[in-house]
Amino acid sequence: MIYNISPSAVTLTSGNDIYFFYDDDILYVENCDKDVIDAVNKIKQGCTMDELTKLLGKKESLELLKSLKDINLLRINYKNDFSESIVEKQVYFWESIFQSPNDIQKLIQTKRVCILGMGAVGSIIFQHLIGAGIKSFIIIDNDKVELNNLNRQFIYNANHLKQLKVKCAQEYATDIDKTIEVKKYPRFINSVEDLSFLNKYKIDFFVCAADLPPNKIQHIVNKFCIKNNIPFSFAALGINYGTWGPLIIPQKTICYDCFCNEQEKHMTEMELKVLKAANEVIKASFGPTNTTISALLSKDIIMFLSGNNDIKTINSRKKFNFKTMEITTSFSVASGKCSCY
């Protein structure tokens, strides 16, 4: 086994001090013995435990390796199996989280994601998931590309006007990677039964990026995904803020209907009236804010599919204030599942 210091870190020595510049942080160790400095430089080049032991001894070598691991700088040397591919750089990102980054990337590429709604949110998420290496998609949308879509839906262009979004999205994906499989369905979903055509597929994640019918589509998706044991999540955009989540995992978290019921218990009578009356989709749309929320949800989806469950929107809806640039928790519930399963 060959140990390395993360290639993303810059390592400098000054006198008896060692400095690590990593992820916008400066970490340092003061008053090091020369042997420790030599050992760090050896690890930076790549070395075995035996080579390190010759410099420091067994106990000191283990302590040094532990210290580097504790500050997330220790790496086990590996060959990037995805060199010269779309996901080459992402594999180097995985090494900061997982011991076997190649295995994580291979896992992600076995997943199938269903996206309902290929508009401002769904199209951006589609882009990010393609970039992450997802190879199998189901996309659902009955709309055609309109000129006013092009300020925020960047997989489409003027040549796509009046064409079905799902057709254009499929072409976008295969233009990037011909091995990507995209099953396209130009349909409007108005009931759980309308999603029954998906029963023949194994779906690893469901993205609800549709906004019609208002205040209904999310509950339709909830019922379908709960029935079929599919993790799912949402995003929504306003003018001054956007939200993403909750990420619902059937049998492990509360369902979306119960999440909403819990939220309503904390609302005033007037807030509830406004919520029930909100049956129209806002007309305003701004590309950068759409992209921001879609990217944040995309990150949660990719992390979930990688097996990393440290996701802040599990059982929680996050809110991004575009004026203050602050992220807050819009609403959350305690961990644990509900009785709907």
Peptide bond before residue 246 is cis, with ω within 30 degrees of 0? yes
Q: What is the pTM of this model?
A: 0.88
- Cα separation, 136 vs 112, in Å, equals 5
Asked if 135 and 181 touch (Cβ cutoff 8 Å), the reply is: yes
- Residue 144's beta-bridge partner residues? 164
- Cα separation, 222 vs 219, in Å, equals 5
Q: Which strands make up the sheet holding 136-140, listed edge to edge?
A: 181-185, 136-140, 112-116, 205-208, 232-237, 241-244, 316-321, 326-332
Domains of the chain: 2-76 (3.90.930), 109-332 (3.40.50.720)
Per-residue burial over 271-308, b if 16 or more Cβ lie within 10 Å, else e, is eeeeeeeeeeeeeebeeebbbbbbebbbebbbbbbbee
pLDDT-derived band at 24, boundaries 50, 70, 90: confident
- Cα separation, 52 vs 35, in Å, equals 10
Per-residue burial over 38-63, b if 16 or more Cβ lie within 10 Å, else e, is ebbebbbeebeeebbbebbeeebbee
- Cα separation, 332 vs 189, in Å, equals 28
Asked if 189 and 217 touch (Cβ cutoff 8 Å), the reply is: yes
Q: Where are the beta strands (DSSP E) in 217-315?
A: 232-237, 241-244
Task: Check residue 308 and give its pLDDT.
Answer: 92
Q: Mean pLDDT over residues 332-338, rounded?
A: 88
Q: What is the pLDDT of residues 39-95, one digit of tens each?
A: 998 898 899 999 999 989 999 999 989 988 888 888 888 889 999 999 999 999 998
Report the percent of the chain where pLDDT is more than 90: 69
What is the distance of C-alpha 260 from the center of its chain? Answer: 23
Instruction: Phi first, then psi: give them for residue 201, nearest 5 degrees.
Output: -105, 150
- Cα separation, 64 vs 56, in Å, equals 9
- Cα separation, 90 vs 307, in Å, equals 15
- Residue 115's beta-bridge partner residues? 139, 207
Q: State yes or no: pLDDT of 140 exceeds 70.
A: yes
